[in-house]
Structures are given as C-alpha cells and as structure tokens.
Amino acid sequence: MDALLEVREVSKTFGGVVANRAISISVPRGGVVGLIGPNGSGKTTLFSSIVGFHTVDSGRIAFEGRDVTRLRVDAIARLGLIRTFQQSRVYRGMDCMRNMLVSAQPVRDSFGAMFQRFPPGLGERTEALLDFVGLHAKRHLRAGTLSFGQQKLLEFAMALMREPKLLLLDEPTAGINPTLINALVDRLHRANTELGITLLVIEHNMRVIMDLADYVYCLAHGELLAAGAPREVQNDRRVIDAYLGAH
C-alpha cells in the first residue's frame, strides 16, 4: 500500500474536551478520501493536527513515510500538504491575481511534475489556474466583489498555487448554490485526475461525497465511528444514528 498520509492513534484535547480520541486514518496517494461526521465531532481539529496548526497530545502523523508529527505549519506546507478553511480566507480588497500571487509564498523549491502542464512563470501560472477554476474573466476584480461561491473557487485556485500533493478541504461546498457546487466538484475531480492531487475532504453534502470519494471515514464525538466505501458508510446504522442524534 502506498499511503501518502498515515494518521495513527492521534488524540487532541482542549481543556476537558476530547476533540479527537485515538484517530487512525490513511489516505492513499492519488485517492479522494471523505471525512464526515456531525458538527463538533472533531473533523476540523483533525485537519489542524495534520497540517501542524496545533500539536497533538499523542499519536503519530506521517506524510510520504516521513514523520511530520512535530513539524510546524510552514514546514509541512513546503512538503506539499495544504489545507483550506471552512470560512473563506480570500483578501477581499485585492483583485484575484493579487490573491493568487500572495498565496504562491512559500513555493516549493522545485516545480512538481504534476504542474508542468502549467507555465512556470508565476504570472502565467496564476492566469492558467484562474482559468482552470473558471475565474479568468474576473481576474482583475477585487475578491470582495465575487459571490461567496466564486470566492470558494478562488480559494481553491489559491491553494493550487502552493502546489499541493495532498489538499485538505474543509467543507468546500458549504453555503454555495447548487450550480457552483457542481462547478467546484468538477474542478476537485479534475485536480485529482488531471493534476494528480490527492484529496481529503470534509463534507456534509452526501451527494458530493458520493460523487467524489473512493473511501469515507466518519467521526462522532471525537472518535472514529465507521470507515468504508461511501455507500456502505452512508447506510451504516451507527452513522445514521449519529447524524440524527446530533440534531
């Protein structure tokens, strides 16, 4: 098995709250893995642990076979492990081009093979990626003037500027209208198949998970509740009960 990311028995508490308890997940290179679970089940916390945003209490995280458990955010990002946030993080006062250029820092030393289809020059690569997400015509508009869904597409393009090998997406379709959801899902799929980017996606929209993911993990109350093929997990009694119990 060629696991790009291995999370082993990772635990994280905040004061008295156990946000993650001995979570183990594995993301194969080239795959699309979904992470689901009711609000407060520990999904975002797990992302934050993986990207080095906070230190875990115990457990181990390996990326490309290398122990990254104690590395900080920038060092992990340089290895090609990038996350996006639940809330949009675009710079509203800057135009799309500028947002993209700001995101290009820090770039990895060598351009990954997957990106050779894009021009090596930063300006050209910026335009190519804006075109990829369908925002090329809006490249000189301030990000704050874009719809929320378009801002999410821009944010996705900004993450691509950083040449991820593994992209962690935190609820990418939340708050977006159905048309833009389809556009975003299509681009996520193409990022995986055409650019070779491995995806780990937190998502509440079950249709999106069914369309995208090869494998799904479900958290509940900070613990791993179920794992398997999307349809298996969707029909798992424990998963259904966890969602019903949460509302």
Identify whether the C-beta of residue 11 lies closer than 8 Å to the C-beta of residue 59: yes
| Shortest spacing between CB 150 and ligand ADP, in angstroms | 24
**Window 38-57: residues binding Mg ion (CB under 5 A):** 44
45 binds, among ligand ADP, Mg ion, none (CB under 5 to 8 A by kind): ligand ADP
- Please select the residue that binds ligand ADP; options are 34, 37, 80, 164, rule is CB under 6 A: 37
Residue 41 found at the interface with ligand ADP (CB under 6 A): yes
d(CA 151, CA 54): 26
Scanning 14-22, 59-67, 180-188, 230-238 for contacts with ligand ADP by CB under 6 A, the matching segment is 14-22
Query: Taking the CA of residue 16 as centre, how many other CA atoms within 13 Å lie in the half-sphere pointing to its CB?
Result: 0
| Shortest spacing between CB 119 and Mg ion, in angstroms | 36
Written as six digits, the tokens of 95 are 């135009």
d(CA 14, CA 44): 13
Residue 40 found at the interface with ligand ADP (CB under 6 A): yes
Residue 42 found at the interface with ligand ADP (CB under 6 A): yes
DSSP per position, 7-22? EEEEEEEETTEEEEEE
- Please select the residue that binds ligand ADP; options are 7, 21, 27, 44, rule is CB under 6 A: 44
Scanning 42-50, 58-66, 70-78, 179-187 for contacts with ligand ADP by CB under 6 A, the matching segment is 42-50
In the complex with Mg ion, the residue whose CB is nearer, 44 or 49, is 44
Q: What values do phi and psi take at 22, rounded to 5?
A: 45, 55
* 241 three-class SS: helix
Beta strands in the chain (DSSP E): 3-14, 17-28, 32-36, 58-63, 66-67, 81-83, 166-170, 198-202, 215-220, 223-228
Sequence-separated (6 or more) residues with CB below 8 Å from residue 231: 210
Scanning 35-43, 116-124, 127-135, 178-186 for contacts with ligand ADP by CB under 6 A, the matching segment is 35-43
Residue 17 found at the interface with ligand ADP (CB under 6 A): yes
- Please select the residue that binds ligand ADP; options are 33, 34, 43, 220, rule is CB under 6 A: 43
Residue 129, phi-psi category: left (phi > 0), alpha (psi -120 to 50), beta (remainder)? alpha
42 binds, among Mg ion, ligand ADP, none (CB under 5 to 8 A by kind): ligand ADP
| Shortest spacing between CB 61 and ligand ADP, in angstroms | 16
Written as six digits, the tokens of 11 are 């635990």
Q: Give contact residues for Mg ion (rule: CB under 5 A).
A: 44
Q: Give contact residues for ligand ADP (rule: CB under 6 A).
A: 14, 17, 19, 37, 39-45
